[in-house]
Amino acid sequence: MTASDPQLLAEVLQHALDGVAVVDDAGGAPRLLYVNATLAGLLRRPEETLVGRPLAEIEIEAPADPNVTSAGIGLRVRLKRIDGTHVECERWAVMLQGGRLALYFRPLPRGGNGALAAAVDRSSGLSTPEHLHEVLRRDWSIGQRDGRTLTLMRFDVDAYRDYLEVFGRAATENMLRQLGRTIGSAMRRTSDVVARFGDDEFVALGVAMEAERACEYAEVILNRIRALAIHHPRSRSGRFLTMSAGVVTTTPPRDRGCEALLEAAQRALTRSKQAGGNQVTTDTL
């Protein structure tokens, strides 16, 4: 690969496991010139809304020895998400031509007594199962107190093992990152959380949604997955990759724990798969 392959270089950056940004550091406040999909996922913002913004809008530097802020040396920083939460990262900076910097962000697990886990799944840029469980427990308790509904959606790749067998692990991970970005872009309210579960499953959590509306959201997501036109020679539904979804919306009952919501959504997903996949199925607690 050479510098004469700009399209290939752009594709590599988009699928990088680390968050990548290019900033203009030629005088004044540094501004974002480029953000890859991984960094946008960490921040829970669309890439196009970040370009042109000051770096200070997304980054809080932790207290550090001035001697370790040089380009090329790791520095621990916090990234500010749109919902007000933070992601602890280690950042590397590389000087480019024309007063520009390439910044590389690698998420670090962070936790505390009573604090939401901020660990991020590096392969997708989405929340980890641990983070989703923390948010689910919090929102379940609030729902029990205030009567606010919760919606849980479980998405699973149809004929996943066949895809993995045909294309291998590297191509499959690229495909899963595409799916994660697609699902995450559809769940864009600040209260929404999308996490990667296991190899080929994604879980989305939303609050204050009507059951009918939640199913419509899930259908939109499956339509967007089909629109990606990801070739799958062993698909049961045609030439392209599809997903199945299980959706549950409920007002948390006081005599049940939040795991009941995950279990109900799993039952719905299982029925969707058993019916041939490529569809949305619902269940109740």
Which pLDDT belongs to residue 4?
Answer: 55
List strand residue ranges (DSSP E) for the chain, in order.
19-24, 31-35, 59-61, 75-80, 86-95, 100-107, 150-157, 193-197, 201-207, 243-250, 280-282
**CA 175/CA 193 separation, integer angstroms:** 20
Confidence check: pLDDT of 66 > 50: no
What pLDDT was estimated at residue 256?
Answer: 93
- Closest residue by Cα to residue 181 from 235, 233, 121: 121
H or E stretch including 200?
Answer: none
pLDDT digits (tens, 9 = 90+) for 149-172: 999 999 999 999 999 999 999 899
Query: What pLDDT score does 201 carry?
Result: 95
Q: Is the pLDDT of residue 59 over 70?
A: yes
What's residue 119's pLDDT?
A: 53
pLDDT of 16 above 80:
no
Tens of pLDDT along 41-50? 778 787 888 9
CB atoms near residue 258 (< 10 Å) = 21
Choose the weakest-confidence range: 57-61, 245-249, 269-273, 280-284: 57-61
Statement: the pTM of the whole predicted model exceeds 0.85: no
Whether the predicted pLDDT of 117 surpasses 80: no
Superfamily of domain 129-282: Reverse transcriptase/Diguanylate cyclase domain (3.30.70.270)
Burial class (CB in 10 A: 0-12, 13-18, 19+), 238: exposed
Kind and range of the H or E run holding 81 = none
Over residues 13-25, mean pLDDT: 80
Rounded mean pLDDT, 259-285: 96
Domain ranges of the chain: 6-107, 129-282
pLDDT-above-70 percentage for the chain? 85
Closest by alpha carbon to 165, among 222, 215, 233?
Answer: 233
pLDDT at 118 over 70: no
Q: Is the pLDDT confidence value at 55 over 60?
A: yes
CA 253 to chain centre: 29
pLDDT digits (tens, 9 = 90+) for 190-241: 778 899 988 899 999 999 999 999 999 999 999 999 999 999 999 988 899 9
> Domain 6-107, what architecture?
2-Layer Sandwich (3.30)
Q: Residue 109: is its pLDDT beyond 70?
A: no
**pLDDT, position 112:** 44
Supply the mean pLDDT for the chain: 84
The packing angle between helices 259-274 and 129-146, to 10°, is: 110
- Residue 96 pLDDT exceeds 60: yes
Handedness of CA 15, 186, 22, 94 (dihedral sign): negative
Q: Can you tell me whether residue 178 is helix, strand or coil?
A: helix
DSSP 126: S
pLDDT at 115 over 60: no
* Same fold flag, 6-107 and 129-282: no
Q: Is 1 a residue whose pLDDT tops 90? A: no
